[in-house]
Amino acid sequence: MKQNSSVSAPSVVKQSTIVEAAQRICGERGLRLTKLRLAALEEVAGNGPVTAYALMALLRRRLARRIDPPTVYRALDFLTGAGLVLRLESRGTYAVRDRPGQAQLCVLLLCDRCETTVEYEDPKILRLIEEEAIALGFHLGTPIIECSGTCQRCAGKMEVSP
């Protein structure tokens, strides 16, 4: 992927790094990172992108107790609000953020083959969207742009395949 200077290079978030980031962010913001929320974050980090119902099954197995859909959605809402997890709207799944704690516009590049998710931010895109929204009298929430395609690794595999 060609990047210009205003685009941050994608990073790979390790499970231990996301847990450390979650503890730091929640501590700084006075948020309560419960055992269930932490387990949900770890499962998304280790298995994501994951649907809420797949996460529910993972949590039931991990915590050896009944977990209902509202419980999972509350945990995901918390993690999303804290900027630790993203909802991939086009796929109905959740993935950890490359840059935990940020809640501004991001562009997601989604691989159709391996489900890799790359997140990057470009201030020029944000300004353009904000300017157009203002001109239309629209108040933005947290916009997320999703683009599907093929990642570099999968594209390389396609070229090698007969």
What kind of architecture, by CATH, is found in domain 104-162?
2-Layer Sandwich (3.30)
Q: Distance (Å, rounded) from C-alpha 106 to C-alpha 124?
A: 11
Where does 11-98 sit in CATH, by number?
Answer: 1.10.10.10
Q: Is 101 left (phi over 0), alpha (psi -120 to 50) or beta?
A: left
Which of these, 29, 99, 37, lies nearest to 62 by C-alpha position? 37
pLDDT digits (tens, 9 = 90+) for 134-157: 999 998 876 678 888 998 888 887
Q: Specify the pTM.
A: 0.74
Domains of the chain, residue spans: 11-98, 104-162
Please say if the pLDDT value at position 89 is more than 80.
Answer: yes
Q: Say what the pLDDT of residue 62 is.
A: 96
pLDDT digits (tens, 9 = 90+) for 7-25: 333 334 566 788 999 999 9
